[in-house]
Structure formats: structure tokens, C-alpha cells
A and B are shown apart, each in its own frame.
Chain A
Amino acid sequence: MTATTLSAPPRVEYDLIKAHSLAAIVTLIISAVFGAIVALKFTYPDFLGSYPWATWGRLRYDHTQGILWGWLCNGFLATLYHLVPRLADRPVTSRRLGWALFWLWNLGVVLSGWSLVLAGFDHWLVAAKPLAWTEFPAVTNIVTEFCLALWFVQFILPLLKPIPGGLYVSAWYIIGGGVFSFLSFPIGSLVPELVPGALGAAFSGLWIHDAVGLLVTPFSLAIAYALIPAVTRRPIYSHFLSMIGFWGLFFVYPLTGTHHYVYSSLPMDTQKAAIVASVYQGADVILVVTNLLMSLGGQGAAVLKDIPLRYVWTGIIFYLLVSLQGSFQALMPVQALVHFTDWKIAHSHLAMLGFATFVAAGGIAHAWQRVPGVRYNATAMAWSYWLIGTGLLVMFFDLTAAGLVEAHLWESGSPWMDSVRAVASYWAFRDASAAPVLAGFLAFLLGLTTGPAAASETAESSPEPLSPGELVAVGAHPVAGE
């Protein structure tokens, strides 16, 4: 539109956007059902209790791993197929590679991981691992790592070649997150199997944070940075802040991992360094969020009208809250009290269901709307937004309160079972919060599969996709010589 020098927009693999979006929402619903059963078992411990595959521990592994690898990564892949051609001004590497990655990811990573965990094998190659955020067995990890290499070929190679409009901030996050996760995932999954106890825990702590901080966060921020100018047609508030935020994140986030093992036998200097980094992380997030929210300044109408953008805006707010909470709870006195309690479960839901899920949902819906011929149901989307948001907030406050009760009782020295009895009602309340969340996920699925076909309505009412030149036009970067 504005940039006359642009060639025709690059090819976008619409079928892969559709496939990964649907895979994302289906795995989300399955993972959420795992989560809901796990929650119910707090209240009815003998519910489905006689089947080994339905035992609490295995379903919990599948819940968290399904959310990470099934829902969020499929969501990221869907949005990458939308974003990368626009950011790189060239198509992704290969359509055939795309389909290979799709099947390998969903069958070789998600389905194989889920079923091996439920089957409960003992051999180390196929056994579930007791390591947070990498519970899937080693054989699944190998497939995952191979797939992460394919991510690199498919999405990052096109971004590494010279791009006429320069490199927009979303692309920085995609490159950084892709390379970092390709390196950190195998270390976090493998090293604790090879080195014992405390040594392994030092590496586990790193991956626990890298999964959220260097995989989920960069791809979520890439979506947020891309969606805002695309919908509002206005430049990002400050490219300087974008840069400071990006480099701050990649420098500081990896150094916070040990804050999961404060007061442990890991060297005290390591623990303290991680705590300091955690505080800096909070400062960095304030910068990033300031930049994103200032970009939306005066755009309230757009945020209200465009549901994907509203999802992203809400995700950014959750990002700020969960990061500041993270910095706060990394401090030793807070950690002494709330570590191991339900407070942390509330915190991780605010991160994964609040921040990441809201941004990913926004990204999926935004990309989906721009696929020719798909259906899109704005009413169902609006319902899903409110249902998920309500359920999440109820769960967050309920579990935070439960965590404080547990912390208090543990501190008081009263018998352990007192803390279990005391929070039973909070757990029952958490069960109830699963209903709106699950209903919201179903509404999201309906939002993508019902309603009018997209081509007529949304193509007119929503802006054209951004090409690199348009990113220039909305202020991504000045192009030399123009």
C-alpha cells in the first residue's frame, strides 16, 4: 500500500497455519482435560484411581508437557507460518519440510510423549523423567531436538538472509529463542540423567526457567510485537526500548534459573546470582511492557474491537504481573515462605495460561483470520476471551490464597496433615474454576470452525498483512536510501 517499491507478498503456507492452529487447540483441550482430572483428584483422590495410566503423577506430567509442546508450540508454529514470510520477505524454507515437521511434531513429540508417560515404562529411554518441563521420555526428547533443528531450517534460515526492510524486532525474538532453545533443551533434558543429584539439579534449574523464559517468552513477544503494529497500523513506541528489552531479556533470563533451588545445597553464590538476575529481569520486563503498552496508547478502540489484539493486550498485562511476581518471590524471605506451596502453582498458571496462552491465542486468531476461506466466529471468540480470563483469575487468586495458608501452617510446625485439610476447600474451588477455562477453550475452537467464511468480512474490515516494507511503513525501521 504505502511502499511502492515492494514486490508481491511472499507465499504464505495457509494450510500449515490451519493445521497447526487446529492441532494447537485440540492439544490444548486434551491437556486441559488432563489438568482438570489432576485437579479433581485433589478433591476425590480415588477418582479414576485404579488405572495406572490415569494416576495423578502421570496425568500431571502430560498436562504440563501437553501445554508446552502441544498447545503453545503448535500455536507458535501456526503464527510463525504467518509471520516469517512477512518478516523475511520470502517464504519459509519448504512446504514439504513444513508438513514433515507438522506430523513429526504432533505424532513424534506430543502423542509419543503423552502415550509413553501413560504407559509407564521403566527403561530410561522410554521412561518419564522426574524433571520439571522436560518430563517426556528421552526418546521423545530426541525427536523434539530434531524438530527444533527443523524449526531452525524452516523459519530462522530465511531470516538470516539479507532482508530489504531490515530485521524487525519480532524476528530478533524468533531467531534468539529458536537458537537458544535448540541448545538449552538437550542440555536441560540430558545432563541431569548423566550427572547425579545436586549437580543435575543445577542444570534442571536452568531448563525449568529456559523453557518458560527462552522458548515461550521470546515467541510470545514476537507475536505481541508483530500484532500491535499490524492491527493498529502505527509504529512501535520506541525501537530503542525494543532493543534494550530484547538484549536485557536474553542476557538476564538465562541467569535466573537457580532461583528454583534457593536454600538448597547448590553453591550460595550461584543462588544469589540467580536472585539478583531475577530482580533485573523484573526491571527488563517493565521496559518491554512499557514499550508495548505505549505502542497501544490511544488505541483503546482497536483493542476493544479486535479480539486477537485484545487477547494479546491482556497477555501483556499478565506478562507484567507474572514477571513482577517472579522477581518478588525470588527474594529469599519470600522464597522461604511460599516455595513448594500452591502459590507457585498459581504463579505458573499466570505465566502459561495468563501470559503465554493469551498471546498465543491472539496470534493464532490473528493469523487464522487472514487465511483465505476459513470460518471465524467473533462471538465465540469474545466468549472464549471472557471465559478463559475469568477461570484463570479465579484459579490464580484461589491457589495464591491456598499457598499462603499452606505456608503459614508449615511455618507453624503443626502436623503436615493440617495443611492438607486446611486447603481442601481451596482445591475444591479450583476444580470449579476449570469449568470456565475448559468452556473458553471449546469456544475458541468454535471461533475457528464456525461462523461466516472469512474472505468476505474480515478481509475487508481488517488491514492487509504486513510485509517487511509495511513494517517499515508502520515504523519498524528506516530503510537506508529511502
Chain B
Amino acid sequence: MAMSPERRPGAHFGYAHVIASVAGLGFFVLSFVLLGVIPGRLLKHQIAATAPIDMPAYSPAEQHGAAIFAREGCTNCHSQQVRFVPADVARWGAPTEAWETKFDYPQLWGTRRTGPDLAREAGIRPDDWQQVHLFNPRLTVADSIMPAYPWLFDGAPNRPTVEGRDLVAYLQSLGRARALSGYDQQPSPASAAMSMGGASDGASDGALIGRGDANAAQRTIDGPSRRFLSGLAPADLPAAVAHGADLFAHSCASCHGATGAGTGPAAAGLVPRPADLQATRLSDERVSSALWNGVAGSSMPAWRDLPSYDLASLVAYVRTLNPTQPDNSPAPDALAHGQAVFARNCTSCHGAGGAGDGPAARTIAPAPTNFQLEQPTTAHALEVLANGVPGTSMPSWRAVLSDQDRRDVVAYVRWIYGAGRPAAQGAP
């Protein structure tokens, strides 16, 4: 019934030609015009209208990094498109807009996520974290299944080849244009896609969190955070400590070491080194802030995606790692001398009260230590004074301060620890 007789032998333009020209050619042209060319023109206009005029193109190094990203198949596991669905937006921030990818030849949107989306990776983690992670992801993330890329390095994570450096440069450029442009501070933050789409549920009730807010280490001096332990009843503490130990082993031990001594597998490649949690007594507030904000200028990321109970458990567990120090009150004259030394040499960074809020502090990352919230062991503090802390602004004081000066200033900063002890109370 379908076959009509006009396709008999000898016809010049048979059914085969109809198929070749209509099904093969015609429907091809139709689909590419309808789904390729027309949306492409719309996108072009939209990009021209919305892209920041000063949007920086990729540097040659970043462009090379993008080629390595493509070559190694990173897109097979890492998308670069935050969809306008609530789960994506909550995790990575505002949806990716067309203009954000206007320098990507070819596009790197990806079609699968085994690892997280990378569209907003710029500035989330420092270069040395990225290097250690690329050298072997399991050094920083114990349970990661990401491949290692040792051929981008000269044998050690802190010795990247040109390729390794360029790949990190590229990763640090992802989402940078959006962050720099102030785009998200514009009066109407809802994206074009968001306002057109059917999935505005959730986005409208304040679920829009920029990834910078959600994950990045904030450049703050003990920035605002909750004190996670305060909500925990004393009876629940042992369970929280056990839970915290488990979390620590999974998420923290790769840098801070199984014992918390800052000697995890990743430590060798990180500058500054991960904190030695056995060398310093940290107040709940200090640990809470580090977990919530990360530590800007170091590889410590923010852990805001953990539930509050997990964060409280980690604070509880970290406290068990800290040194227990008898509050051996120093001799008054040593204390007075220490305070004088501190006032002469340390306050521009650490602040008059030792709260890490001196006039220079705002320009420094990692921020100067707040001695009201941190109490180093004497040995640790003496070591720091003698050698400085590589990767931070803390220099060696060996040439400036005598042994006696250093001993006394250590006694003083240890004495500061605890609320209500700062210099405002007056010297002894």
C-alpha cells in the first residue's frame, strides 16, 4: 500500500533520491538550522549583551592548560556547567551563563560527573593544593578515585612541569571572569535561563549561594562563624568524638596526618604546611572558624558542605588532639619583659592584644595568629620564632631577638590565651 507505482525502473528521480535528498539532506539541514544555527544566533546576541566588556581572555598558559584538560579526558568526569536546578545551584552557585564560556574552543561542558563540577574552581583552593591533588589525588582526598597525573611533574608535587603549571593556571581561571566582573552583584541576580526555565523552585527562596561563599577559604581574620561545639550536650560528647575521629580519618588525615601532627601524605607538597594540631591548643571558636571559612592563604578549604553535627564532631575530636598544657603561670618579670618585646616587634601584625588584628594583618594571608584563640606549646612557639613559618609572613627572629627575649615573648603569648586576658586588662 505504501509503495506507489511511479518508482518503476527508468524513473529519473526515484524514491531513493527522495530519501537521500529529503531524509538525508533536508532533515539534516532542518535540524542543524533549528537546533544549531538559530539558537547559536540567539546566544551570540545574548553573549554580546551580557558579557562584561573587560572579560579577560585566557593567557597562553591557561590556553595550554585547557588543551591538557581536554587531552587527559577531564571532561569525562568533571562538567563545567552549573545547571539551573536547585541541587546544582546550592552546591556551586549561580547557573553557568553562555557568556562565561565565550573563550572556550572547543566547549568543555562535559556530560558526566564522577567528580564535582569545575565551572567555579578559580580561587577555591591554592595552587599547591591543586598540584598535590593532580600529582596524586589520594594524597589530599583519601577516598578519591581520580587518576593521578605524575607525568605533569618532575617526581614531586612541588615540582610541576610546564604542563602541570599550565593546567593549574587553567583550573584557577575557571569562573574567574564571573567573580571579577561583579556580575553577581548586579541588581537582578536571577539569570536569563533561570527566569525562563521551569525549575525556579528552590532558587527563588534564597537557595542561590555563590560557590565563592559556599566553599572558598575566605580572606578573613577569624571571620564570623558559628561555634559548632556549643550546641552539643556534654553527654553526647563521646559519641561526637568517635564520629569526628571517623570523619577526620576520611577527610583530614591526608594533610594533617592520622595523629594530627601535620604530617599527612600531602604535607610535603603544601606551603604553608598543614597545621600541627598537636603543637597548639585551639579554642573551639578557632577550629570552628577554620572549618567554616577555611584558612585563606593556605590549603585548608572551607568545609561548609558538612552538616553541623559533623562539624561539631570534628571540633570535639580536634580538641582531643591538642596538647594538654598546665597553665603554668610565668614569673611576673618575664611576663612584663615578654610583653615589652611583643609590643616592640609583634603588634603590627598580631595586634596590640595579640588577637591577630594588627594594622598589617588585613594584607596578610594566612592571617597572623590570634593568640587569644590559639596557645602554642612552648617548644612549638620557640621553633617558630627561631625559623619562621615558610609560606606565611612570619619571619625568623633569630637575628633580632636574644634567646631570653624569645623565651619571654613565648611566655607572654601563651599567657594571652583565653578570653579576658588581653592587654586591655593591663600588664602584670
User: Hey, which bits of chain A sit against chain B, CB under 8 A?
Assistant: 41-43, 45-46, 49-50, 52, 55-58, 60-61, 120-122, 124, 127-132, 156, 159-160, 162-164, 166-167, 171-172, 175-176, 178-180, 182-184, 187, 191-206, 208, 239-240, 242-243, 246-247, 250-251, 254-255, 257-258, 260-270, 273-274, 332, 336, 339-341, 344-345, 410-411, 413-417, 420-421, 424, 427, 477-478, 480
Contact = CB atoms under 8 A, between A and B. Distances in A.
Nearest to A48: B147
Contacts of B105: 192-196, 200
B107 A204 contact: yes
A202 B40 contact: yes
Given A183-B25, A254-B30, A257-B31, A42 B73 contact: no
B8 A184 contact: no
Contacts of B113: 340-341
5 contacts: A42-B114, A45-B148, A129-B106, A183-B25, A340-B113
A178 B44 CA distance: 32
Interface string B199-240: 100000000000000000000000000000000000000000
B20 A179 contact: yes
Contacts of A264: 81, 83, 96, 109, 193
Contacts of A159: 16
Given A197-B102, A254-B28, A270-B35, 18 more contacts: A41-B147, A56-B147, A57-B72, A122-B71, A160-B14, A163-B16, A184-B28, A200-B104, A200-B105, A200-B106, A200-B107, A263-B85, A265-B191, A266-B43, A266-B98, A336-B85, A410-B87, A477-B3
B421 interface: no
B29 to A, nearest CB: 8
Interface stretch (B62-70, B328-336, B384-392, B394-402): B62-70
A55 B149 contact: yes
Contacts of B145: 41-43, 45, 420, 424, 427
Interface of B: 1-3, 5, 7-11, 14-17, 19-20, 23-25, 27-28, 30-32, 34-36, 38-40, 42-44, 47, 64, 67-77, 79, 81, 83-85, 87-88, 90-91, 95-98, 100-116, 137-138, 141, 143-151, 191-193, 196-199, 250-251, 305-307
- Which secondary structure characterizes the binding site on chain A? helix
A474 B147 CA distance: 56
**Which one of B19, B114, B198 has the greatest number of beta carbons of chain A within 10 Å?**
B19
A257 B138 CA distance: 37
B112 A416 contact: no
A180 B112 contact: no
Given A179-B25, A202-B35, A254-B28, A415 B306 contact: yes
B63 to A, nearest CB: 10
B199 A332 contact: yes
Given A55-B72, A166-B3, A421-B143, A122 B23 contact: no
Contacts of A427: 145
A183 B88 CA distance: 36
B35 to A, nearest CB: 5
B143 to A, nearest CB: 5
A420 B106 contact: no
B2 to A, nearest CB: 4
B138 A415 contact: no
A255 B35 contact: yes
3 interchain residue pairs of minimum CB distance? A57-B73, A197-B101, A179-B24
A373 B14 CA distance: 38
Nearest to A123: B67
Contact of A175 (B8, B24, B76): B24
A50 B150 contact: yes
A311 B249 CA distance: 50
Nearest to B105: A196
B73 A58 contact: yes
B43 A420 contact: no
A164 B9 CA distance: 6
A332 B85 CA distance: 10
B200 to A, nearest CB: 11
Nearest to A407: B87
Contacts of A266: 39, 43, 98
Contact of A265 (B20, B24, B96): B96
A234 to B, nearest CB: 17
B52 to A, nearest CB: 15
A171 B23 CA distance: 13
B68 A122 contact: yes
Given A246-B23, A416-B115, A60 B73 contact: yes
Q: Which of A160, A175, A194 has its CB near the most chain B CB atoms (within 10 A)?
A: A175
Contact of B95 (A176, A265, A268): A265
B148 A206 contact: no
Contacts of A239: 1-3
Nearest to B111: A132
B20 A176 contact: yes
B125 to A, nearest CB: 13
B250 A417 contact: yes
Contacts of A411: 87
Given A130-B108, A267-B43, A477-B3, A257 B197 contact: no
B32 A206 contact: yes
A258 B91 contact: no
Contact of A261 (B8, B109, B143): B109
A373 B156 CA distance: 60
B1 A175 contact: no
A204 B39 CA distance: 13
Contact of A263 (B43, B98, B197): B197
A443 B143 CA distance: 37
Nearest to A159: B16
A137 B258 CA distance: 45
A127 B67 contact: yes
A247 B73 CA distance: 37
Given A180-B24, A240-B2, A201 B73 contact: no
Contact of B114 (A187, A195, A268, A420): A420
Contact of B141 (A175, A339, A417): A417
B40 to A, nearest CB: 5
Nearest to A241: B2
B39 A208 contact: no
B34 A130 contact: no
A153 B79 CA distance: 40
Contacts of B115: 416, 420
Contacts of B64: 122
Contacts of B42: 267
Contacts of A410: 87, 91
B28 A242 contact: no
Nearest to A258: B35
A55 B134 CA distance: 13
Contact of B196 (A120, A178, A268): A268
A199 B307 CA distance: 39
A414 B247 CA distance: 13
B197 A58 contact: no
A267 B108 CA distance: 18
Nearest to A135: B73
A176 B24 contact: yes
A270 B151 CA distance: 42
A227 B207 CA distance: 56
